[in-house]
């Protein structure tokens, strides 16, 4: 197919790995590469390039247009204005066939042509994975509710604009059945949505050895791993309590940072019988070694994850997951990815931990099944093909 015959896609994203090395940032970049491999010319439009990139982007077979003004990696009036400017200039010099906006990048979109189709990918709803989610907000103490309303006032103010985005998008891509069902509660027609689960690049063909993991992580004892932002709704305090109650004599490694870190460190000191290791600013390149070296990954979520990327990352590295039965985690982990406990039930989590950690061979065997299942069900190329199906439906109209 000649370049002129390839559909030209504008991919709007707030941030890439150069802004911050997060899961959704890598997702956008990998999606662009996957689309190129199957015949779509793809141009990324994103926020301003930071002075000190989190990761050097290097040479890539796609065009990336950065905003000339505004805060790198953040939504702002300047970001939306710059996105519209870049989009208009791009369409004028190299006409587009479709606009694909990630999350809320099209919230103030001005289409350069009225008939140009718009697809929005929604990685969770406006209140997903925040304390404003009904399952969290309704259970919070009155003072917590007031705090949350203040902390997330901007999301509340954007409620009308968000609903307008859902209405004006010609098609909506979601990465889980859970999010699809949540959007149906927002009166989004089911036929307007297309499920395209996230894909993770399988760049590591074989798992690192135990020696390589120990050398990279500097951990010489068996451990359970949690990778999470340290906020109340992530439930890491529940993980600490469950590990302590399990009396399993296995260390607990917590990778992440956030406003709850000091409180979590104080909580861990109440349980001197087991070790808790807090690791912040772990390089992205080291995370596979932490995952592969763990006996088990623990996700003690209070909230409802819209996907659960860390669960998938653990499975891909051959580590099963013990997770709260909530959000999209059951569909991401599937039949072989691990085990579940009732959300918020520390005693049940502790009892399950004790039983699982007493049988390392069973954990290893489950890890093999988890990895095989994840490799089969989630890949960048499959994600790109699913996304392309949504494109083709619009481009035929």
Read off the DSSP letter of residue 277. Answer: E
pLDDT tens for the chain, residues 1 to 397: 445 578 999 999 999 988 887 778 888 899 999 999 999 999 999 999 988 876 766 656 789 999 999 999 999 999 999 999 999 999 999 999 999 999 899 999 999 999 999 999 998 888 888 899 888 888 888 998 999 999 999 989 989 999 999 999 999 999 999 999 999 999 999 999 999 999 876 555 578 999 999 999 999 999 999 999 999 999 999 999 999 999 888 999 999 999 999 999 999 999 988 899 999 989 888 999 999 999 999 999 999 999 999 999 999 999 999 999 999 999 999 999 999 999 999 999 999 999 999 999 999 999 999 999 999 999 889 999 999 999 999 998 6
pLDDT of the residue at 1:
45
**Domain assignment present for 2:** no
Look up the pTM and report it: 0.88
CA atoms of 224 and 214, how far apart (whole Å): 14
**Domain assignment present for 1:** no
- Is the domain of 124 the same as that of 265? no
- Is the domain of 182 the same as that of 224? no
**Is the sign of the CA dihedral 367, 368, 371, 377 positive or negative?**
negative
- Is the domain of 187 the same as that of 277? no
Secondary structure (DSSP) of 307-346: S-HHHHHHHHTT--EEEES-TTHHHHHTTTSEEEE-TT-H
CB 327 within 8 A of CB 308: yes
- Is the domain of 141 the same as that of 48? yes
- Is the domain of 249 the same as that of 283? yes
pLDDT of the residue at 285:
87
- Is the domain of 161 the same as that of 260? no
State how beta strands 338-341 and 321-324 pair: parallel
Long-range contacts from 210-216, C-beta under 8 angstroms, 24+ separation? 210/293, 212/289, 213/289, 213/290, 213/292, 213/293, 214/293, 216/286, 216/289, 216/290, 216/293
Q: Count of CB atoms within 10 A of residue 72's CB?
A: 22
- Is the domain of 269 the same as that of 318? yes
- Is the domain of 230 the same as that of 168? no
Can you give the residue range of the structural domain that contains 19? Answer: 8-201+379-395
pLDDT of the residue at 27:
86
pLDDT of the residue at 190:
94
CA atoms of 311 and 320, how far apart (whole Å): 8
**Domain assignment present for 92:** yes
For residue 278, the SS3 value is strand
Element (H, E) at 165: helix 159-168
- Is the domain of 238 the same as that of 195? no
CA atoms of 320 and 291, how far apart (whole Å): 10
pLDDT of the residue at 203:
55
**Domain assignment present for 3:** no
Q: Which two tokens stand for residue 277?
A: 């290791």
What CATH number should be reported for the domain holding residue 27?
3.40.50.2000
Element (H, E) at 45: strand 41-46
- Is the domain of 180 the same as that of 220? no
Nearest to 40 by CA among 393, 384, 386: 384
CA atoms of 129 and 383, how far apart (whole Å): 23
Q: Count of CB atoms within 10 A of residue 315's CB?
A: 31
For residue 304, the SS3 value is coil
- Is the domain of 119 the same as that of 258? no
User: Which residues, including other chains, have CB under 8 Å from residue 95's CB and lie 6 or more apart?
Assistant: 8
pLDDT of the residue at 397:
67
- Is the domain of 178 the same as that of 238? no
pLDDT of the residue at 22:
75
**Domain assignment present for 262:** yes
Q: Which two tokens stand for residue 57?
A: 């982007």
pLDDT of the residue at 141:
87
> Buried b vs exposed e over 339-368: b needs ≥16 C-beta within 10 Å?
bbbebebbeebbebbbebbeeeeebeebbe
State how beta strands 8-12 and 41-46 pair: parallel
């Amino acid at each position: 197919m000649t370049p002129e015959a390839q559909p030209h896609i504008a991919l709007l994203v707030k941030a890439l790995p150069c802004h911050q090395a997060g899961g959704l940032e890598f997702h956008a970049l990998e999606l662009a590469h996957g689309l190129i491999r199957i015949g779509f010319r793809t141009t990324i439009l994103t926020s301003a390039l930071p002075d000190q990139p989190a990761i050097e982007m290097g040479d890539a077979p796609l065009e990336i247009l950065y905003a000339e003004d505004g805060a790198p990696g953040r939504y702002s009036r300047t970001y939306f204005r710059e996105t519209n400017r870049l989009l208009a200039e791009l369409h004028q010099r190299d006409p587009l066939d479709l606009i694909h906006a990630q999350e809320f990048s099209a919230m103030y979109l001005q289409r350069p042509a009225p008939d140009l189709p718009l697809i929005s990918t929604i990685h969770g709803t406006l209140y997903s994975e925040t304390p404003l989610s009904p399952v969290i907000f309704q259970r919070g103490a009155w003072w917590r509710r007031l705090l949350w309303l203040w902390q997330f006032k901007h999301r509340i103010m954007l409620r009308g604009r968000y609903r307008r985005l859902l209405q004006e998008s010609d098609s909506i891509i979601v990465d889980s059945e859970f999010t699809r069902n949540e959007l149906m509660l927002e009166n989004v027609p089911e036929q307007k949505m297309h499920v395209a689960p996230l894909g993770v690049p399988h760049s590591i063909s074989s798992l690192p050895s135990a020696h390589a993991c120990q050398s990279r992580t500097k951990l010489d004892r068996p451990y359970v791993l949690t990778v999470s932002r340290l906020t109340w709704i992530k439930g890491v305090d529940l993980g600490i309590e469950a590990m302590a109650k399990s009396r399993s004599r296995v260390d607990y490694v917590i990778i992440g940072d956030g406003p709850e870190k000091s409180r979590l460190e104080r909580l861990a000191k109440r349980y001197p019988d087991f070790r808790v290791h807090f690791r912040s600013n772990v390089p992205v390149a080291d995370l596979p070694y932490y995952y592969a070296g763990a006996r088990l990954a623990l996700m003690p979520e209070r909230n409802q994850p819209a996907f659960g990327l860390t669960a998938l990352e653990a499975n891909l590295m051959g580590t099963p997951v013990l997770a709260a039965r909530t959000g999209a985690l059951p569909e991401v982990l599937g039949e072989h990815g691990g085990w579940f406990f009732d959300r918020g039930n520390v005693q049940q989590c502790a009892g399950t931990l004790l039983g699982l950690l007493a049988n390392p061979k069973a954990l290893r065997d489950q890890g093999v099944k988890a990895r095989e299942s994840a490799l089969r069900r989630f890949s960048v190329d499959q994600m790109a093909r699913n996304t392309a199906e949504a494109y083709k439906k619009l481009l035929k109209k």
